[in-house]
């Protein structure tokens, strides 16, 4: 079944997407600066903890009901991501941040909800997926080349590997502790840059209104700045996965803005 039951028009799709982006920002800020302790009825913050607990129970229940009433796969997926994120928020209140890394999972799930919500908005928009063009392959080839560098360096192709590594050094700091390990070495770009490349390949395949694309890009940029600033301030450590996810969001929204700014190709002849 391909019919939307709840997010069944463009206005509702925009509202859902704005909510997802907002709560993604809240979760990102909490991830950066807040470290919740386990809830206790005998603790100093039992009143505020009880209120938050009640809010998360209500929100999780509402989202599960919406999930039950949703119909098409994309709508179900969107509410599943949102409900799971709210559920992990409930776990965070009950057990604290260290258990299951609940806030990290919330950021990842809400990021997936934002991507899914963007796709739903795209389907309700007057814009359609742009025609395939070879530019979509450029960020994919860059990501593949960056991941191939450690293979070349560890399998006897030193000249090729070093040349490619120096090329990527023009755009990335290449600090090994901030890069994924692959083939016995480090990927030629950091986890954030790798996410940007892969996200750009995804974003070039979709269109939305320029206003929505710009707002999503601003939100993604703010989250990346919050992550970089909070790490610089010593509020958290080296989170490869979070930087990769935020880079993915930044690349996807930036590429989507470019794609949405292109004039659709017309098949009519003058």
pLDDT at 43 over 60: no
> Do residues 143 and 219 share a domain?
yes
One domain for residues 150 and 65: no
Using CB atoms within 10 A of its CB, is residue 99 exposed (0-12), middle (13-18) or buried (19+)? exposed
Is the domain of 141 the same as that of 221? yes
pTM here is 0.53
Q: Are 120 and 146 members of one domain?
A: no
pLDDT digits (tens, 9 = 90+) for 164-185: 889 888 888 888 888 888 778 8
Question: 40 versus 233: which is more confidently predicted?
Answer: 233
Cα(70)–Cα(112) distance, rounded to whole angstroms?
18
Q: For residue 224, which of 195, 203, 248, 247 has the smallest C-alpha distance?
A: 247
Structural domain count, the chain: 2
Q: Answer yes or no: do 192 and 216 share one domain.
A: yes
- Assign 236 to helix, strand or coil: coil
Position 270 in a domain: no
Domain boundary residue, one of 70, 103, 124: 124
Domain termination residue (choose one: 124, 150, 169): 124
Distance CA 203, CA 140 (A): 12
* CA angle 187–188–190, rounded 5-degree value: 75
Structural domain of 196: 129-263
**Which of the four pLDDT bands, split at 50, 70 and 90, describes residue 266?**
very low
Angle made by CA atoms 29, 33, 38, in degrees to the nearest 5: 105
Q: What does DSSP assign to residue 169?
A: T
> Within this chain, do residues 136 and 68 fall inside the same structural domain, yes or no?
no
Kindly state whether residue 53 falls inside one of the protein's structural domains: yes
User: Could you give the angle at the alpha carbon of 147 between the alpha carbons of 144 and 152, nearest 5°?
Assistant: 110
Indicate whether 107 and 196 sit together in one domain.
no
Q: Examine the domain organization and report whether 115 and 45 are in the same domain.
A: yes
CA angle 176, 177, 182 (to 5 degrees): 60
Dump pLDDT digits (tens) for 212-223: 888 888 988 998
Contact between 6 and 69 (Cβ < 8 Å): yes
């Amino acid at each position: 079944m391909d019919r939307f039951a709840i997010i069944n028009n463009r206005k509702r799709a925009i509202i859902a997407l704005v909510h997802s982006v907002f709560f993604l920002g809240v979760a990102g800020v909490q991830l950066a600066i807040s470290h919740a302790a386990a809830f206790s009825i005998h603790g100093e913050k039992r009143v505020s903890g009880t209120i938050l607990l009640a809010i998360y129970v209500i929100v999780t229940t509402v989202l599960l009901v919406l999930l039950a009433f949703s119909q098409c796969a994309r709508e179900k997926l969107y509410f599943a991501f949102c409900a799971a994120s709210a559920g992990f928020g409930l776990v965070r209140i009950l057990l604290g941040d260290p258990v299951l890394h609940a806030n990290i999972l919330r950021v990842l799930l809400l990021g997936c909800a934002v991507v899914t919500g963007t796709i739903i908005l795209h389907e309700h928009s007057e814009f359609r997926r742009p025609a395939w063009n070879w530019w979509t392959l450029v960020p994919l080839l860059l990501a593949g080349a960056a991941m191939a560098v450690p293979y070349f360096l560890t399998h006897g192709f030193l000249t090729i590997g070093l040349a490619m590594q120096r090329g990527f050094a023009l755009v990335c700091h290449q600090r090994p502790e901030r890069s994924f390990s692959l083939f016995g070495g480090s990927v030629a770009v950091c986890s954030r840059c790798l996410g940007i490349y892969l996200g750009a390949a995804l974003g070039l395949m979709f269109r939305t209104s320029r206003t929505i694309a710009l707002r999503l890009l601003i939100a993604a940029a703010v989250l990346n700045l919050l992550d970089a600033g909070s790490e610089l301030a010593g509020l958290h450590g080296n989170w490869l996965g979070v930087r990769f996810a935020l880079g993915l969001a930044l690349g996807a929204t930036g590429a989507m803005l470019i794609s949405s700014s292109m004039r659709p190709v017309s098949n009519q002849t003058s």
